[in-house]
């Protein structure tokens, strides 16, 4: 595995891999790798010939600078995990390599108006700007993102279409701990009590699934039941529990077509997100948690 800090070197190495006829796969990350990131690498290993991973904690997407300062880092461990997973090129730019007096930002409207977009001003603009830059640097054929950040994926898909990036975007399932907690670099910040309480996220999604499977379609009734589940372990600090259409992410009163139930809740100072994708085939539905 090559480790590279310079954009020009990434271009050389990716160019050489492409000249050999290889398809380029790309996983952008902010590091502190876990099984969720490694599952994305595995998806690309099956579909492409040369896998690039970036690790860059992108200040532009942090609306809260304390969150940026405390974002977990362990670059040594990350390098070992990336190499073991079969990453061919690890791009580790520093801030000055990525941003020098940037005056350009990328925004995707509408899709970013609710869910996390309503609670983290500027966050998605930071994400889409850095992802556009990384796409232009790496020029992959395929890039993969996790379902857990469903609003990020929806926005990136729309951005790729609108801005004509010749890149296939793959969406990977949420990877969970054995007890159901969705994997996240932020889980490291949870005390053992908070971690235990955070299992209510997954429980609330399963409760929603059960209701859907027994025919309930009213969003507000499902949201109420989920709120009850969450408030049994934490007082307040629910950023949102929402039912939205997929992929355009508009609030829906009734679940009659492809939708997402998404939630963001604080456990102590740690904000966790989770979601369930609901896919309809005719009248039957499939819930992907
Ligand atoms: O999902 C993430 O880790 C980040 O938002 C991303 C896509 C690497 C952009 O910084």
In sequence order, the 6+-apart residues with CB closer than 8 A to the CB of 284 are none
**Which of 149, 172, 195 is the C-terminal boundary of a domain?**
172
List, for residues 153-212, the tens digit of each pLDDT value: 999 999 999 999 999 999 999 999 999 999 999 999 999 999 999 999 999 999 999 999
Question: Are the C-beta atoms of 32 and 74 separated by less than 8 Å?
Answer: yes
Q: Does residue 199 share a domain with residue 166?
A: no
In a domain, 194, yes or no: yes
CB-ligand 1 contact for 175 (6 Å cutoff): no
The CA distance from 10 to 249, in Å, is 35
CB-ligand 1 contact for 131 (6 Å cutoff): yes
Q: Which domain holds residue 201?
A: 185-288
Helix (H, G, I), strand (E, B) or coil at 29: strand
Helix (H, G, I), strand (E, B) or coil at 61: helix
Residue of the nearest CA to atom 2 in ligand 1?
Answer: 29
Place of tokens 């990328």: 106
In a domain, 177, yes or no: no
In a domain, 151, yes or no: yes
In sequence order, the 6+-apart residues with CB closer than 8 A to the CB of 129 are 60, 102, 104, 105, 106
The CA distance from 59 to 126, in Å, is 8
Q: Rounded to the nearest whole angstrom, what is the distance from the C-alpha of residue 251 to the centroid of ligand 1? A: 24
Q: Output the DSSP codes for 110-156.
A: TTTSSTHHHHSTTHHHHHHHHHHHHHHHH--SEEEEEGGGHHHHHHH
Q: Rounded to the nearest whole angstrom, what is the distance from the C-alpha of residue 127 to the centroid of ligand 1? A: 6
The total number of structural domains that make up the chain: 2
Q: Rounded to the nearest whole angstrom, what is the distance from the C-alpha of residue 210 to the centroid of ligand 1? A: 32
CB-ligand 1 contact for 58 (6 Å cutoff): yes
Candidate of 61, 120, 150 to mutate for ligand 1, largest count of ligand atoms within 8 Å of Cβ? 61
Identify whether 37 is a catalytic site residue. Answer: yes
CB-ligand 1 contact for 30 (6 Å cutoff): yes
Q: Does residue 284 share a domain with residue 219?
A: yes
Q: Does residue 225 share a domain with residue 145?
A: no
Q: Does residue 159 share a domain with residue 99?
A: yes
CB-ligand 1 contact for 149 (6 Å cutoff): yes
Question: Are the C-beta atoms of 55 and 22 separated by less than 8 Å?
Answer: no
Q: Does residue 142 share a domain with residue 28?
A: yes
In a domain, 179, yes or no: no
Place of tokens 């801030």: 95
Q: Does residue 132 share a domain with residue 15?
A: yes
pLDDT for the residue numbered 282: 87
The CA distance from 120 to 112, in Å, is 10
pLDDT for the residue numbered 234: 84
Residue of the nearest CA to atom 6 in ligand 1?
Answer: 29
In a domain, 95, yes or no: yes
Candidate of 26, 27, 30, 171 to mutate for ligand 1, largest count of ligand atoms within 8 Å of Cβ? 30
Q: Which atom of ligand 1 is nearest to the CA of 156?
A: 7
**Which of 127, 144, 172 is the C-terminal boundary of a domain?**
172
Q: Rounded to the nearest whole angstrom, what is the distance from the C-alpha of residue 28 to the centroid of ligand 1? A: 6
Pairing of strands 50-55, 284-288: unpaired
CATH number at residue 243: 3.30.1300.10
Low-confidence residues of the chain: pLDDT under 50: none
**Which of 147, 172, 197 is the C-terminal boundary of a domain?**
172
Cα-to-chain-centroid distance, residue 236: 24
In a domain, 235, yes or no: yes
Nearest to 257 by CA among 267, 243, 241: 243
b/e map 46-61, b = 16+ CB within 10 Å: eebbbbbbbbbbbebb
Helix (H, G, I), strand (E, B) or coil at 268: coil
Q: Is 188 exposed, middle or buried (0-12, 13-18, 19+ CB in 10 A)?
A: middle
Question: Are the C-beta atoms of 172 and 57 separated by less than 8 Å?
Answer: no
Q: Does residue 198 share a domain with residue 119?
A: no
CATH number at residue 153: 3.40.50.620
Q: Does residue 163 share a domain with residue 195?
A: no
Q: Does residue 217 share a domain with residue 121?
A: no
Q: Which atom of ligand 1 is nearest to the CA of 146?
A: 1
Q: ω before 247 within 30° of 0 (cis)?
A: yes
Place of tokens 């009248």: 283
In a domain, 178, yes or no: no
Is residue 249 left, alpha or beta, with left meaning phi > 0 and alpha meaning psi from -120 to 50? Answer: left
Q: Which atom of ligand 1 is nearest to the CA of 149?
A: 1
In a domain, 180, yes or no: no
Q: Does residue 168 share a domain with residue 213?
A: no
Phi and psi at residue 279, to the nearest 5°: -110, 135
Candidate of 57, 82, 131 to mutate for ligand 1, largest count of ligand atoms within 8 Å of Cβ? 131
Q: Does residue 149 share a domain with residue 202?
A: no
Q: Does residue 259 share a domain with residue 124?
A: no
Q: Looking at the DSSP assignment, which residues form a beta bridge with residue 198?
A: none
């Amino acid at each position: 595995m090559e480790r590279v800090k310079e954009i020009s070197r990434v271009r050389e190495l990716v160019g050489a891999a492409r000249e050999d006829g290889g398809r380029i796969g790309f996983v952008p990350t902010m590091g502190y790798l876990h099984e969720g990131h490694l599952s994305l690498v595995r998806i690309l290993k099956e579909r492409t010939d040369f896998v690039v991973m970036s690790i860059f904690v992108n200040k532009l997407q942090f609306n809260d600078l304390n969150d940026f300062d405390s974002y977990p880092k362990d670059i040594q461990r990350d390098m070992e995990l990336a190499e073991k997973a079969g990453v061919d090129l690890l791009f580790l730019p520093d801030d000055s390599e990525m941003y020098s007096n940037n005056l350009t930002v990328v925004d995707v409207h509408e899709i970013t108006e609710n869910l996390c977009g309503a609670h983290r001003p500027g966050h998605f603009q930071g994400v889409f700007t850095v992802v556009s830059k990384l796409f232009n640097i790496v020029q992959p054929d395929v890039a993969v993102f996790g379902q857990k950040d469903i609003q990020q994926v929806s926005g990136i898909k729309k951005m790729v279409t609108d801005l004509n990036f010749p890149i296939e975007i793959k969406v990977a399932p949420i990877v969970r701990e054995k007890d159901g907690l969705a994997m996240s670099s932020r889980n490291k910040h949870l005390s053992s009590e908070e971690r235990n309480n955070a299992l209510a996220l997954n429980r609330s999604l399963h409760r929603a699934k059960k209701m859907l499977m027994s025919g309930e379609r009213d969003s507000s009734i499902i949201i109420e039941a989920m709120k009850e589940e969450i408030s049994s372990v934490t007082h307040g600090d629910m950023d949102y529990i929402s039912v939205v259409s997929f992929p355009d992410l508009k609030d829906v009163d009734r679940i009659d077509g492809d939708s997402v139930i998404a939630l963001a809740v604080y456990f102590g100072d740690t904000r966790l997100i989770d979601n369930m994708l609901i896919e309809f085939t005719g009248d039957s539905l499939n819930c992907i948690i």
